Structures are given as structure tokens and as C-alpha cells.
Amino acid sequence: MFKPVRILQVAAAVLLGGCASSHTAPPSAQNSPAAQAAPAASASSHARRPPAASVDANGFVDAQGRLKPEIQSYARQVAAKHKLPLSHVEALLEDARYNAKAAELMSPSKTRVRRSWVTYRKRFVEPVRIRAGVEFWNQHRATLDRTAAQYGVPPSIIVAIIGVETVYGRYTGSFSVLDAIATLAFRYPDPQRPERSQLFQDQLADLIVLDYQGVLDARQATGSFAGAMGLPQFMPGSLMRYAADGDGDRHIDLAASPEDAIASVANFLVQHGWRPGLPVFAPVVLPADAKSLVHGGLEPVYDWEQLKTQGASKARAPVDSSFGSGWTQHKLGIVDLVDEPRRTAEYRCGTPNFFAITHYNRSYFYATSVADLAQELASRMGYGAPN
């Protein structure tokens, strides 16, 4: 799983992990919101995929179509751990195919990418997403207002996340989720990152469970090259643990139901520490040596009194004073937004709500882009400002 260590802040971070994922211990699969809401899938929806034209050396079956030993061992472990029929697990894995493109896109860069906050921000806080975000907000205003009242997450933040992830459903990915996740689970392209293989093996197990429960059809599901699905780009584990039924039809569909996507984003953030009534960034003037206060993790670490002793002070005229000073009662963290080509860095003071967004994507660049896009959208809509 991901570790809360120094966060990679490059443009590739959104491609690598630009989707909701969980690193917390799961509840039982039978008690997940998705499992309770979804009807059983029909037998016809689980039809076997046609066999590949030839055996791929990187694939998961041998020339006779039997699972290779390490894949067979994994199948037994998953079946035992999740109390699934071994035949069901084996059948899915036999149908999975190695996807060379997914492996290529996940391969580490041969050259170091210089971090650029300015370039990164321009990719997401831009006219297309702003216009589409206003349209999406207007179209789903009632749902967003109801969700904000229920979860305490402003509409602007929810809309911004869906905009950053998929431009409101325009780009959800066309990879077979089964193939992509199996490829990264068993043939991860960077041998120096064994924890990545384990992460995707965990996600593959969740995908198999969801298929068995009828929540989705693993053979038909499509998404990003990393296996993220729907408008909010949820990985299987997040679909299992955090997806919510926003339209009340007792079925969760993150691809076709904006209501479900909206509720699921809000629920994910709340489950990862979102605090209603707090801004994303505290209105703070930081000291000149703010760099020395950067911790770099996924959790805030400072009390307000500690920051004051380091030279921080409240801003005299915050952009939005409607939040009051309640943020001083919570842990805070200093966010560094480095631009190496320009040799500059911007520093902000993140509240627990900033760090809740980093659990969606473990990048300060990502979370700040969401907050900035949300601010732009809120300004145009006239309410729901996140800062």
C-alpha cells in the first residue's frame, strides 16, 4: 500500500494514482455499501471471454490454458481469505490478459521529471474544466446541495474532483479493468517497487469479490490503465468501501449515475478526515523560512500555537472569512508547491480538509489543484467556496 512518506509532486502523479484509493483496513465485503445496494448480476453477464489468439509469455496461463503456478497460488489465497468459490476466482484469472500498454504507462520514467507547480496547475485549473464544471453544477445543483447538507462537503469540492478526474465523465478510460489490474498485480514493470505489486494484488482481490457479489462484471468493466472506474475514478477497493447510493435506486453505478458519483466522492472525503465547516487552506501568513516547516506527509502535524511560535500569523483579510477561526482548533500542515524550472516555491497552510483530499490522490499538487479549481467554480456559482 502507499506509505505516508514524502509525496511525489509531478504531473505523472495524476496518471499514476489519480483516483480514489484506500489504504485502510476493509470491513467485510458483505457489509460494504456497494454490496448492500447492488442486485445480483445475471449469469449471462458473466460469460467467458474468448481465448487469446496465442499464449503471451507475460500472461497468466500456460499453453494448456491453466493458471501459472504463482497465479494459481494467488487464486487459492483469495478464495480462502474472502470465502469465495475457488472455481469463480480461477475462471476470472484465466480470462485476464496481460496488457502491455498498461505496463508501459506504469513504467518508471528513464529521466527525472522536474516538478512544476505552475505547469501542473494549468492542466487542471483551465477554461474547459471551469466551463464544464459550471454546467455540471447547474445540472446537478439539487443533488449537490443535498449531498453537501448530508456530508458537509461543499459542492465546489465535489465538482472539482470529478472535473480533475474525468472532465465530468468525458474521459473515464477504455482499458479492461480486469486486464489492467492483473497486469500490474503480477507483472508490475518496476521490480524495485514490490509494494506496488501487492497494492494491485489487493485491488484485484477486491475486484473479484465485487464480481462475485454482482456489484459489477469484472470482464466488462472498463477504466483507466490503473483500473480506476467511473466519473470519480474509484479503484475496486474504494468502490467496495466508500461508494454510496446517491440516487436511491439501491444500485451503485459510478459510470452512469452522477448522483452516485457525487455522493461517493463526498463519502470518501468524510471517511478520510474531512471536517465540515473548515476551509481547505487556513488564512495564514507564513514565516520567511516556511520551507523548514514542511513535513511532507499525508496528515497535518502542527498545532496553531506551534506555528505561531515559528512566526506564522493570521492573515488580516482572508479571501473568505465565513469560516471564522475554527481552523485554529485543528492540526495544520505546511504545503510546498515547488516549481523547479522556475526555481520558485509557494507555501500554504493546509487544514485537515486539504489532507483529506490527498487521500484521493497522494500529491500536494493534486489536492491544491482541486482546491483552486473549486474556488474558481464557487466564484462563478456564487456559493460553496472551499477557502
**DSSP letter, residue 62:** -
How is residue 13 written as a grid cell?
502523479
CB distance 52 to 267 below 8 Å: no
Residues 95/182, Cβ–Cβ less than 8 Å:
no
Cβ burial of 247 (10 Å; 0-12, 13-18, 19+) is middle
Grid cell digits, residue 186: 503480477
Distance CA 26, CA 34 (A): 13
| Phi/psi-derived region of residue 331, left when phi > 0, alpha when psi is between -120 and 50, beta in every other case | beta
Residue 40: CB partners within 8 Å, gap ≥ 6? 213, 214
Map grid coordinates 528513464 to a residue.
Answer: 110
Beta bridge partners, 332, equal: 302
DSSP states of 246-265: SSSSS---TTT-HHHHHHHH
Q: Is 318 left (phi over 0), alpha (psi -120 to 50) or beta?
A: beta
Convert 292-316 to b/e letters by CB count within 10 Å (16 or more is b): ebbeebbebebebeebeeeebeeee
Q: Would you name the residues annotated as active-site residues?
A: 165
Strand ranges, E, within 229-378: 284-285, 313-314, 333-339, 344-350
